[in-house]
Structure 1
Amino acid sequence: MSVAMDNARKVADAVLYEGYLLYPYRASAAKNRVRWQFGVLVPPAYTATSEPSSSVTECLLDGAANALVRLRLRFLHVKERRVERADGGGFVPVDRLDTGERSHLTFDEATEREVEHVLAMPALLGVERTVTVRVPGDRSEEAVLSGAGEPLGRVVCEHRPLHAVLDVTAEAGAGPHGLVKLRVRTRNLTGWTGDGTRDQALRRSLVAAHLLIGVTAGRFLSLSDPPEWARPAARGCVNENTWPVLVAGPGGRDAVLSSPIILYDHPRVAPESPGDLCDATEIDELLHLRTRTLTEEEKREAAATDPRAAEIVRLAGELPPEMMERLHGVMRHEPATPWWDPAADAAVSPDTDTVTVAGVEVAKGSRVRLTPGRRRADAHDMFLAGRTARVEAVLSDVDGAPHLAVTLEEDPGADLHRSHGRYLYFAPDEVEPLAEPSGKGSA
């Protein structure tokens, strides 16, 4: 298990339990009547809803032609929890059974499942490999007794067997950069008779399904903000019912989380968060305060609803004041060099970088004539056309396109603008290189 994959687990766990159970964490709450909203892959024969039975992840790697690819499929396996009351010589299903100190509710839970497989990239190039995933079913019973030890009923918990596959292939890209496009299709192949409710279909589904993908060599490229040379390839990646993002930590490139919910690259869980509230789109402080206001009967129902709900109620009640204060707000210090400062990127150097214009290398200190193009919409540009300027820096925008920062030669305030970094900006095709005036620099 790689360090990058371990670091990604906290974020992946938040995805796994996103929407698992919502405040007020009770089975009777309207918002918990229709569950499992994200990353649901239903049996292919189930068509009562528009939920898919498969997902497709496509991502780009650079320099990974000989890497090992670690695939980790993670999902929730719904476990039916059925409460039955003793009735003569048999049992009758009921919604609730109270024993005085404890309540038992009919309400489905879920079990984490994780399957890992390692494949060699050379064995994937141009070939589709299929990884089979089978999860067996199981069944357990727990007797429900009265305070006097008399049998009142039972709680039956059952997992249905699941059958899924991962279809994995890779495609080597053209060009000098050695790009590889990795494609993973996750398919639920579990059987379905065509009858039954969505709740029954969910017991045969992969819920909150997502992939963690790591490599031992090379690096993943961001699909939301790829380098300029990789943009055409990034646009060619097709992702269905999933959203792959870099997740190896700031600057890391050796792990991707293919998530059923939209995330930015390098997401992270706030270190101040004391526990999993199953609702990552809410505010921890607000949820803890609300949970503290539940009545004793509501807390009892929440505790009977699900073990995770019971833990949330316990945590909210025991959270010390200093922990609650941490949830109220936090000051995060920005890095010494902000992200928008060119000094934050060692790959660029505005003082020494060059750009070729009409066959001439233009850099800081070069003389140019301004020729604003037709794409300019500012009327002020007509007053700049034909004027001469000094290049102060060669910069790149967020898309990697070059721009020239200049000051006008005849501007008496040029020194002041230079000291404050107040420049005019032009694209390379909006200037003409000029030679230095004859005699410049002579005694």
Structure 2
Amino acid sequence: MRTHRYAGFDGAEAVADAILHEGYLLYPYRRSSTKNRVRWQFGVLVPPAWGEAHGLVDSGVAGSAESPWQQTECLLEAPDSAVVRIRLRFLHLQRKVAERRTAGGAYQPVDRIEVGGRAELSFDEAVPRTFDVEAPVGELRRGRRLDVRVPGGEDVEPLVDGRGTPVGRVVRRRRPLAASVTVSTAPAEAPFPLLRLRIRVANTDRTTPPESPRDEALRCCLLAAHTLATVSRGRFVSLLDPPEWAAHAVRGCRNVHTYPVLAGEPGSADVLLSSPIILYDHPRIAPESPGDLHDATEIDEILSLRTLTLSEAEKREARATDPRAAAIVDRVDAMPPEVLERLHGAIRSLAPVRGGGDAGTEPERPWWEPGADAGIAPETDTVLVAGTPVARGSRVRLRPRRRGTDAHDMFLDGRTARVEQVLLDVDGSRFLAVTVDDDPGADLHQWYGRLRHFRPEEVEPLTGGPATP
């Protein structure tokens, strides 16, 4: 393992750590919870033969799809002498087994063991792994490959009673991993010097039988795989908000099972984070958040309050499930009232309301960090879009703005949708809440009330009037 401390990564690794453990363990953080019986949902790179046998060969952007490889393509302005540094980060599955000592001195695997008030459950954990590769930009035209090898291992933790007599042990076992990171550059089509940087990460394991069940194959997978990149004396170009001269080159970038955004401090462009979870440029952790909860969207206040309501027996099971679960329960139990109150809500990016109503004159859509309360106010009847009244049931074509919009919305450009609500925001702005046509989860989204929101200038009315509800 080759790792170094690069100052450029410091500001981005807090967000990267949250990605690394996203979905690691979900509330209520107990092994018995149904949600925690199928784990490792993001950035899973599977052994190639196993992936082929299970039909995992698609090439979409979605990071929740399992695949033998992932690919990042981004744009870079830098001279040949500039140095690019790539950091691969992932989790290595570790099987934790509780074993009880028998009368004959042997050890027998058990589901649960308790010693002196401490309980341990057999459960899967994961160990963070990090590998670095670097090269001058000029050398990357020929490509640079790093072969990643992680040895297997076994750690044994004895369990003794109050008299010091061995009564059991906890055994943690890991299988070897094999992967590769290939980094290369090529000229991008643009009016100014511009390079396309490609980072391809692949699982190269050949030991996993194709017929293995998923639980066994996961032991040779890279979990939550993502990459960080820095460049000296150069800068990356945002794929979400590029300059006009680079827009054509952006469309030529092919990102598979991961997507790159600018990281680090706002205004900087020398750090990139490519994640299986699509983010905004310059993502950050809300300063109110007291620690990672591993749950999607990290609604800190609700999750903390729910954790406080767990019974003592449930908390005991959570602590026995995993050290990270124990840390969450302990932290929430010890949280002072003023810290919990701070989680109640925060508003980011307040902007003055500017009149006119034309595209480009509205304030940027605010974004909301974990721990913040964001609400859209009452429903209204209709809104006029390009001279056409749009109401509940109307059908529209989505045309999200290129600037100041949600990162996910860019993938819906040109799709058609049905308007479910016309909403009035607190500043008098109107939004359309829609369900996207041909979305297999549309019925579920409607039932939950999880709709996609667009400004009127981000849609085109379709002829034919309201759609049939």
Report the TM-score range of the alignment, normalised by the length of the smaller protein.
Answer: 0.7 to 0.9
From 286, 303, 308, give the equivalent of 1:292.
308
Q: Distance in 2 between matches of 1:342 and 1:2?
A: 40
Q: Look up the equivalent residue of 2:192 and give its one-letter code.
A: H
Compute the displacement of 1:134 (Å).
Answer: 1.3
Alignment partner, residue 354 of structure 1:
none
Alpha-carbon displacement from aligned partner over 1:338-380 (angstroms, at most 9, x marks no partner): 9x67999xxxxxxxxxxxxxxxxxxxxxxxxxxxxxxxx769x
Alignment partner, residue 278 of structure 1:
294
Compute the displacement of 1:336 (Å).
Answer: 8.5
Alignment partner, residue 21 of structure 2:
17
Alignment partner, residue 196 of structure 2:
181
Q: Could you say if the C-alpha distance between residues 12 and 337 of structure 1 is closer, same or farther in structure 2, counting changes exceeding 3 Å?
A: farther
Alignment of 1:33-432 (within 5 A): 33-47=37-51, 49=54, 50=56, 51-87=66-102, 88-125=104-141, 127-190=142-205, 191-332=207-348, 334=350
Percent of aligned pairs with the same residue?
A: 52
Unaligned runs of 5+ in 1: 345-376, 380-396, 400-443
Q: Could you say if the C-alpha distance between residues 262 and 398 of structure 1 is closer, same or farther in structure 2, counting changes exceeding 3 Å?
A: closer
Q: Look up the equivalent residue of 1:80 and give its one-letter code.
A: R
Q: Is the 8 A contact 2:76 2:235 kept in 1?
A: yes
> In angstroms, what is the RMSD of aligned CA positions?
2.6
Alignment partner, residue 355 of structure 1:
none
Alpha-carbon displacement from aligned partner over 1:150-171 (angstroms, at most 9, x marks no partner): 3332211112111111111100
Q: Look up the equivalent residue of 1:230 and give its one-letter code.
A: A
TM-score (ref. length: structure 2)? 0.70
Alpha-carbon displacement from aligned partner over 1:29-53 (angstroms, at most 9, x marks no partner): 1100011100011111223643211
Compute the displacement of 1:128 (Å).
Answer: 2.3
Number of residue equivalences: 350
Compute the displacement of 1:89 (Å).
Answer: 4.3
Q: Distance in 1 between matches of 2:323 and 2:42?
A: 21
Compute the displacement of 1:275 (Å).
Answer: 0.6
Q: Could you say if the C-alpha distance between residues 306 and 79 of structure 1 is closer, same or farther in structure 2, counting changes exceeding 3 Å?
A: same
Q: Distance in 2 between matches of 1:301 and 1:258?
A: 35
SS at structure 2 position matched to 1:181: strand
Unaligned runs of 5+ in 2: 57-65, 355-359, 365-385, 389-400, 404-469
Alignment partner, residue 8 of structure 1:
12
Q: Could you say if the C-alpha distance between residues 160 and 94 of structure 1 is closer, same or farther in structure 2, counting changes exceeding 3 Å?
A: same
Larger radius of gyration: 1
Q: Distance in 2 between matches of 1:328 and 1:130?
A: 47
Alpha-carbon displacement from aligned partner over 1:263-285 (angstroms, at most 9, x marks no partner): 11111110000011111413101
Q: Is the 8 A contact 1:4 1:249 kept in 2?
A: no
Q: Distance in 2 between matches of 1:336 and 1:255?
A: 30
Alignment partner, residue 463 of structure 2:
none
Structure 1 stretches (4+) deviating beyond 4 angstroms?
A: 335-338, 340-344
Q: Look up the equivalent residue of 1:154 and give its one-letter code.
A: R
Alpha-carbon displacement from aligned partner over 1:168-215 (angstroms, at most 9, x marks no partner): 110013443101000111011123133533222212111100000110
Q: Is the 8 A contact 2:190 2:246 kept in 1?
A: no
Q: Is the 8 A contact 2:187 2:194 kept in 1?
A: yes
